[in-house]
Structures are given as C-alpha cells and as structure tokens.
Structure 1
Amino acid sequence: MRLHTLKELDQTEGTVQLRKLGEDTDADASSLVLVPHPSDTDPNDPLRWPIWKKHVAFASVCAFTFLTNYGIGGLAPAFYLLSIEFGKSMTETSNLLLWPILVLGMFNFFWVPIANYFGKRPVFVFASLLLCVTYIWGANAKSFESLLWSNIVGAFAGSSTEALGAAIVNDLYFLHERGAKMGIYMNSISGGNTIGPLICGFVVQSLGWRWHKWIAVIFTAINFIAVLLYVPETRYNRDTPKSLGLTTSDQAISSEEDVDVEKTGSPSVKPVPESPAPERVQVPKKSFIQELSLWSGVPSDTNLFKMFIRPLPMIAYPAVMFAFLGYAVSLAWVVAVNILNSFVLQAPPYNWQPQINGLINIPGLLGNIFGAYAGGWLVDKFCDWRTKKNNGIFEPESRLYLLIIPFIITPAGCILFGYGVQRTLHWTSLFFGYGMISVALTAVPTITLAYVSDCALPVNSDALLLVNGLKNIVAFGFLYGVIPWVEKVGYINCFGTQAGVFVGIIGLGAIPLVLYGAKIRHITAQWRIIL
C-alpha cells in the first residue's frame, strides 16, 4: 500500500498565482486567474456549468443542511414543556439535541468515503429522503424514547451534508469565490439552529411541538424533489496545477470555447489572449436525463476500504487540527446557550412563554449573518487585496487575519451571557451575549474550512471530513457535561472558562499559522501520509 505526499498531488502547496499583473504593474489592472483551471474540453466539468445550475445545486444542498438543524435543533424552545410532558429532567431532555450532535459528527466518517467512492449524488438523494421519513416519525412519536431516536436517525441522514456540503463548494466554485460561498453554507447550518427555534417558539405555543415536526416534513419533502432533480453529480477528476509557474494563459479563461465568463459567474475575470493551440476533442455534454442517473461509476485505482481509512492520518496536518478545534468550541458554546436558555427564560424570575423565548434566536441569527459576512465575503476581499500587494500571489494564510473579529467578540459575549444569567440582569444582556457568541459559529469555520481546502485541495473532502466529524465529537464532550457544569460552578465561572478556552484555541492556533504557515505547509507537504 503505497503512501503519497501532498506535494505529489499538488506542487503549489497552496500558494498559487491568483492574479497576473498588467505590463504597467498596476495591481488594479491585474487579470484574475481561475483556480482550479476548468476543463478545456469537457462541458460536464462542474466549474463550467452555467451559473444558475451551480447556484440551484448549491442552494438545494444548503437547504438540506438547514432543514437538518431546523427539524432537530429547532425543537429547543419546547424542551421545558417536553420535560414536563414526558416527566424527564433537564439533563435527560437535553439528550434530544446532544446525541444528534454526536451522530452528526460521527457519521461523516461513513458518508464521505461512500460519496467519494460511489458519488455525492446518490448520497444526497437517499439521505434527503431518509430525513423526511424521520421527521414523519418524530411528528407521530408517542414516547420520549421514540422522539429521541427519530432525532438520532434524522441526524444520521443529515450528517451526509456536514462535510460533503463544504466539499461541494470546492466542486462548483473557484478559489476566489470559495470564502463567500462557504459563508453561505455555514449560515445554512447555523440558520437551522436559530431560525428553527425562533419559529418553533410560536408554533409550540399555538399548535404544539408536533407541528414543528410536520412543518419540517413539508419542507424536507420539497427539498427532496429539488435534490432529486437539480443536484447532478459534482465529483470530477481534474488535473490540478503542478506548479506556481503556470502562465495565466494556461489557467485563465481565454475564450467562450473554454468557459463562458458570464455563465460561470465570474464577470470580473478579464480574458487574456492565448496563442493558438491544437484542436482538442470535445467531450459530449450530458443531457438532463443522463444527469438524473444515480450511478457515475467508481474509482478504478482504489477500493472502498482505502476510502474509509484514507482520511485518518490527515489529522497530523496543523491546518486540520486547528480547524476542527476552533469549529468545535464555536459550535459548543452556541449550542450550550440553546440547551440552557429555555430553562432560564421559561422559569422564574423571567417566566417567558415559549414563543417569546424563541426571540432570543434573533440576535443569534444576526450574529451568524455577521460572522458569515466577516468570514466569507470580507475575507475574500481582504485576500484579494493582499494578493494584489503580493504581486498576484495568493497565500492561504491571508484568510486567517480576520479571525481577530470572533477572537474579540465571542469571549466578550460568553462573559456577558454568564453574568447576565447568574445576576438576573435585564434580558437584553442575555440577547447581546448570545448574539456575540454566535458570531464565532459562522466566522471561525467559514475561515478555517476554506483555509484547509486551500492547503489540501486534492484531498479536501477527506480533510473536511476530519474537521466536521471530530468537531462534533469534541463539542458533544463539552455539551454532555454543560448542565452539571453550570449547576456546580454557576454561569459566571462556566461561561468565563468557555471564553478562556476559545481565546486559547483561536489565539494559539492562528498566530503560529499566520507567522509560519508557509513554512509549515512546505514541511507537511513532504509527509508521506496519503493513501
């Protein structure tokens, strides 16, 4: 079993020429280089799809991700009432969210190898149908155990989008688009956990918690049809650039025969004249009926067993380790508030009704949107500015600078929320605290997942599998003990410690990578750990 280095698969080590400066060396006059380079002969390359087709496929997967968290995490405002209805303690009721979080992470290790071997399309189609069925089950659950298992099986289905949803960003979009699209994807994950509880609070009060599940059934059924019809296979074997020295004419779009700039959604790309090349055989374009097929073949150079064990050694990459730890604490602190807030706000002295309790997710949603904006679109703009200053050369570490935003805001939010609850401060302190904590849930993974993809693009789906799988397992460990932790030390000490852990992980992880990331990438690219 021969092992490979990352450098054998991609000699750029993540450093690529993203812009070519004009002859006058004016950075503003530079032309954008498309990375990865789309196929010149194959119209079925997802990078060459029309922009509407890319967006519809991406939106369908994002909706799938959103509905997973909407149907499961959105039930949080009903926890207090469910604990009364089924005679369960606060800790037992929180299992409706805790165990699904663990499953959402663990089964990444099942779905990603299956998708890499058989294709992403059959996984998305099957899993989206299964999610709909589990919500029907949950809506009809007659016992707490039945409701719990419906959530667990639903999390199994939804876990298919955790890493694969991030990987599809790399399938459909170019490097300069990656941050903004990753931000949209992260908003889809977090939005289910904020919009879901916001809506559920009113639904629970007016119609009962079962109607929350029935609403999820309706939307997941619609989304299943969208996935079935509009999400073709995005897995594609492409030859990655082998060196930084490729000319722009080798990588940039130079004519409509290669890729239509308008249709691919890259209007800022400036065509670069290219010398005449020998005519190449064009691959036939697949019809709509052909794209509906669930079978796209399997790799001939590997087997399913290798697919399952291939990602594991990549935990040694510093980018992967930093990304999963940063994502884990960002997720854990937000879900901790989701678990605890109904027991705080619906009990004395606040005594809020469920629909009013759900309003705490408004600042959570605003925090998520701001975090996705800061970690996505703003990071893309910042990276483009640094690329121009760096003679058109893109360094992945450029993304990490803006981690300063959640680094400052989120720990302050933890402290504010902890003091607000323990000292019974005005509800606005809890709202502001939660909103500030929520910034990290989208900003940190949006930045770090894109960074991992930049550093390990040829094996990005395996690397993202580790990040998404391990982050949920670590978050589960924190969250499993959060209620006993709060009961033992109080909210101030609990959330103060959370703030310190967040500062430690983000600060100690990002600073070395910003300063020495290029050297680290060069060293780790020589490690022979890839199957």
Structure 2
Amino acid sequence: MASSSDEQSPKPGFHLVHSHAQEGDIPGTVNVKAAEGDDTAYGQALFPVPAEDPNDPLQWSRFKKTMILVIICVYSFLGNSALLGVGPYITLWSEAFDVSQEDASTLISYPNLAYGLTSWLLVPLYLKFGRRPIVLGSMLAFIAGLAASSQATSFNGLMAARIIHCLGAGVCEALPVQLVNDIFFLHERGLQLGYYTFALCLAALATLPAAYMLPTKYSWRLFFYVILAFAVALFILAFFFVEETSYQRNKHINTPTNEEQDSGSPSLAQDKPEELTVEQVPVIPARKSFLTTLKPWGHSDPTVPFFTLLWRSMTYFLVPQVLWVITSFGIVIGLGALSFNFVFPIKITAPPYNWPVSSSGLQAVGSVIGFLLAVPFTPTSDMLAAYLTRRNNGIREAEMRLGVMLPAMIVGPVGLVVYGLTAQRNLHWIGYFLGAAMSSWGGYFYYNFTLAYAVDSYNSDTSEMLIAMNVATQL
C-alpha cells in the first residue's frame, strides 16, 4: 500500500539530483563520467553523490544555499573588518592609553592570534555538536566582544574585549569552507569559495571608514558601534536561514528496499523500471519543517573523538599538499595584509608624507582595487579543471585547478617588493598603492584556489586539515 506523499515525498515538482560519480582510491581523484539519468555540470556527473533525501544539504534549493553563503560571507567580512580595520587607531591608542606604538599594535596582533587559533577548538566542537549551534554561539561571542570594545576605557579592557570578539569571529577561518563543502558540489567549490575569499579580502577596505570616523563625536568607538549593529542583524538572519548542514550521507545514500539496488549497480534500476513495485521504490523522507530547522542546538555525534582531533589535525603538517597550502597561504597573509595594516598608517603620517591620521586608511584602496581586478578570474579554476577532466576521460584530479595560479606566482611577490622598497626608501606614495594592488591581486588566487585545492585533495578530512591550516598561518 502506498504511503501518502506528505510523509514520503518532497514537494510536487521538486527534483532530487542523481549522480553515479565515484571517488577514486587516491585522495582528490574522482570518476565523474556521467551515466544515463545523471544530473551533470560541464558534461560531468555531480560529486559528492547526494542521497535521495530532500534533507541532504546537496539537495537544498538554490535560494537556501545562496542565503547560507551570503550570511557566512558577510560574517567573514565583519569579523575580519573588526580585526584589521582598527589599523588607523594605533597612534591614537598609543596616546590615549599611554603606551608605545609597539604595545598599541598588539591590539591587532594578539587578537589576530586568537582569531586564527580559535578554530583549533571550534572545529572539533562543530564536528561533534553540529554547525548551527557553533555559528549562533560564535556570533553571540562576537557581538559581546564588540559591545565591550565600544565601551572599553583601558588598554587591558580593550585587549580583553577584542580577544573575545576575535575568538567568536575566528570560526570564519574554517566554518565557511566547511559549509561550502557541505552544501555545494565539487564543480562549484572554486566559485563559491571565491565569494567567501572576496568577502575576507574586502575587509581590507574597513581601514578607510575607520579612519574617517575619528573626527566624529564617538571617535574610534563609532567603528565598533557600526559593526555591532550589522552583527546583530546578521545573527537574526542566521537564526532563521542557517540550517544544520552536517549530514551523514553514507547512512542514506543506499536506502532502497530492493536487494538488487543495494548491490550498488547503477544499471539495474534502469533496466526494468516498469517492474518496480511500490514496495521496491526507495522511501524518500519528508523535508523537515521550517520550525524544526530553527532549533538552536544540533545533535551530538558520539563517534567524533573530540580530544583526538586536537592532536591528530597537527599530523597534516606532514602532508605535502597541505604543507604547501599552509606556507603559501600564511606567507601571503603575513607579508601582505598584516604588514600593510601595520606599516602604512605609521609611514604615511610621518615625514616625508605627513598625511593626516584621518587619511591613514587609504591604503585599503590599493588592496581593494587588486581584489576587484582578480574577481573576474574566480570561475577559471573550475573551468580549467572541467576542461582537463574531459581530456582525462572523465577522471578528475585535485591538481587540475592549479594552472590558473601561475600569473599570481609572479605578480604577487613583485607587488611585495614594490611596497617594501617604497617604505624603505620613502619613495612616492603611489608605490604603496601599486604594491598593495599587485600583492592583493596575486593574494586572491592564493586565498581562493589553494584552499579549493586542499578541500578537493582531502574531501573527507576537510575539517582536520582546516585546523592545521589555521593554526599554522598564525605561527
């Protein structure tokens, strides 16, 4: 007897995606040859293979996926802006709190350390208790830290508050990548990670409004007020739209009641479809109700070894692919973004430039121009990988996307040299902007495509790899 569609089927007209792609024995290798009935992209079967379940994040609507992506991108932008946007305040804080500029700069460096290292704790937490509670909890910590920063009256108080909001926002170093991995297919990751990368990079622009807020009634505190307002609004959106994305697909991927279908042969279901009885048709669960998805807590996974993950993730330093991503990613961040925010405000307000403090955030213009010029190249790694996959008879390898990075390997380092020589020899100020633009253009490729490559290489162990990457880039 057939069950009601309300209990066993998704909404009428909803198409459940199918694929027979197979992961190879070598990590990062996938056979994406399309079989009859497969949904495809670039003429290739989709991977990961989704379950016939509308609750599988891979089966969610495009609107749902886009909302989650937008929310985590904005969160990443706000978190990184709150961390780095205060660069123009170093001199002011030095005078206000009666400390040296070197000590005042630790209001960026120590929170930055907290921002990077917090994923060592939060990643095992979201693996064990789910993505949603960690997203919401981290946002609350971010909001609390911002509120405390806006009211701080001492150096130590401001330091503590900034560490708190960075401990919350630090989840943006890992969780957005995990969510992209959860809800998007292999062929989409380069583009979707590109949006996340651009949001992180765009935070370099935060120094510009931060500097222009100095002459206002609230001075530097206005910067924290503004980010706090956006953070509260974002928390409300996240509560309603960021559904739990952890899904044990291996328990649902082979759910047909027919024993022959359980054998794993994709052709059997296609040979005699007219002979399938009602009892042989796979039972498709109902989509969870909207109210059910609003539960702020997730599910505890007893199979996740929380403390083991803390040390086991460090073993990824021995994996060549991950080590290369860590070193290149860390160098670009350390020698690029952080050095720009430290060096420019100090150099540009001193002789021979003598710019006003309110203009000390203009360096962000060069970085943002570089990022904007790089954005049109975001889809190129997916397109190149798809092209090379077709030439390789449907076998995709993680390294296939890396060819697009060759120009960045030249332009980025040249930009660092231009910036460094300008600062060392007090050359024309245009050198700061040109160097920052070139470095940021190349850095965008490293932020985005090395990350996508690492996720492709170790798809099943993405979380542990991200812990190692985030810890290493802060050392």
Relative to the length of structure 2, the TM-score reads: 0.85
Deviation at 1:110, TM superposition (A): 0.2
The gaps in structure 1 that reach 5 residues or longer are 1-8, 23-27, 243-247, 255-272, 474-531
Aligned to 1:525: none
Residue 424 of structure 1: how far off its partner (Å): 2.0
Matched, 1:114 2:125: yes
In structure 2, what is the Cα distance between the partners aligned to 1:292 and 1:47? 19
Shift of 1:298: 2.0
Map of 2:351 onto structure 1: 348
The answer to whether residue 47 in structure 2 is matched with residue 35 in structure 1 is yes
- Rounded to whole Å, the distance in 2 between the matches of 1:20 and 1:285 is 27
| Structure-2 separation of matches of 1:469 and 1:393 | 33
Matched, 1:359 2:367: no
Please say if residues 21 and 29 of structure 1, whose CA atoms lie closer than 8 Å, have aligned partners that are also in contact: no
8 A contact 2:88–2:207 mirrored in 1? yes
Look up the SS of the partner of 1:159 in the other structure: helix
Deviation of 1:304 (Å):
2.6
- Residue matched to 2:66: 55
Q: Would the alpha carbon gap of residues 30 and 220 (structure 1) be closer, same or farther in structure 2, given more than 3 Å must change?
A: closer
Cα separation, 2, equivalents of 1:432 and 1:250: 55
5 Å matches for 1:197-212?
Answer: 197-207=207-217, 208-212=219-223
Kindly tell me: are residues 405 and 19 of structure 1, through their superposed partners in 2, closer, same or farther at Cα, counting changes over 3 Å? farther
CA distance in 1: counterparts of 2:435 and 2:271, whole angstroms: 55
Higher relative contact order, chain-length normalized (CA < 8 Å, sep 6+): 1
Give the superposition deviation at 1:373.
Answer: 4.5
In the alignment, the residues of structure 2 paired with residue 237 and residue 294 of structure 1 have an alpha-carbon distance, to the nearest angstrom, of 19
Show CA shifts across 1:193-221 (max 9, x none). x1211211211233411101110110111
| Counterpart amino acid of residue 401 in structure 2 | R
Q: Which moved more, 1:441-450 or 1:101-110?
A: 441-450
- Unmatched 5+ stretches in structure 2: 1-22, 255-263
8 A contact 2:388–2:400 mirrored in 1: yes
- Paired letter, 1:195: L
8 Å contact from structure 1 (residues 410, 436) kept in 2:
yes
Pair 1:431–1:305, CA change in 2 (3 A): same
2:445 partner amino acid: A
User: What is residue 64 of structure 1 aligned with on the other side?
Assistant: 75
Name which of 87, 94, 105 aligns with 2:116. Answer: 105
Q: 1:234 aligns with which of 245, 248, 253?
A: 245
Indicate yes or no: 2:92 matched with 1:81: yes
Shift of 1:316: 2.0
Cα deviation, 1:79-136, whole Å, max 9, x if unaligned, reads: 2222222222221111111111111121111000000000010011011011011111
1:468 correspondence with 2:464: no
The answer as to whether partners of 2:71 and 2:234 remain within 8 angstroms in 1 is yes
Counterpart residue number, 2:31: 17
Instruction: State the Cα distance separating 1:461 from its structure 2 match.
Output: 1.4
Q: Aligned residues: percent identity?
A: 28
What is the rounded CA distance, in whole Å, between the counterparts of 1:129 and 1:206 in structure 2? 28
Match of 2:235 in 1: 224
CA distance in 1, matches of 2:405, 2:42: 27
SS of the residue corresponding to residue 368 of structure 1 reads helix
TM-score by length of 1: 0.77
Measured at CA, do residues 10 and 351 of structure 1 come closer, stay the same or move farther in structure 2, by a change above 3 Å?
A: same
Which residue of 1 is the match for residue 186 of structure 2?
175
| Partner in structure 2 of residue 146 of structure 1 | 157
Q: Deviation string for 1:283-337 (max 9, x for gaps)? A: 2211111101133322243443334334232322211111111111010012111
Aligned residue for 1:427?
429
CA, structure 1 residues 249+172, in 2 after alignment: closer, same or farther (shift >3 Å)? farther
Distance 1:30 1:324, change over 3 A: closer
The CA deviation at 1:17 is 2.6
1:407 to 406, 409, 412: 409
Equivalent in 216, 226, 229 of residue 215 of structure 1: 226
1:128: which partner in 2?
Answer: 139
2:101 is matched with which residue: 90, 94, 97? 90
Match of 1:337 among 332, 337, 340: 340
Distance across 1 between alignment mates of 2:230 and 2:339: 27
**Alignment partners' CA distance in 1, 2:446 and 2:461:** 21
- Alpha-carbon distance in 1 for matches of 2:157, 2:166: 14
Cα-to-partner distance string for 1:364-398 (whole Å, 9 max, x where unaligned): 01223344554x31211121222222222211111
Q: Deviations over 1:239-280 (max 9, x none)?
A: 3999xxxxx9959xx9xxxxxxxxxxxxxxxxxx88737410
Determine the C-alpha separation between the residues in 1 that align with 2:245 and 2:335: 34
Q: Does structure 1 retain, via aligned residues, the 8 Å contact 2:81–2:206? A: yes
Aligned counterpart, 2:444: 442
1:470 Cα shift?
1.5
Kept in 2, the 8 Å contact 1:116–1:307? The answer is: no
Counterparts of 1:179 and 1:275 in 2: how far apart (Å)? 39
Amino acid at match of 1:204: L
Query: In the alignment, residue 82 of structure 1 is paired with which amino acid?
Result: W
CA distance 1:462–1:275, shift in 2 (3 Å): farther
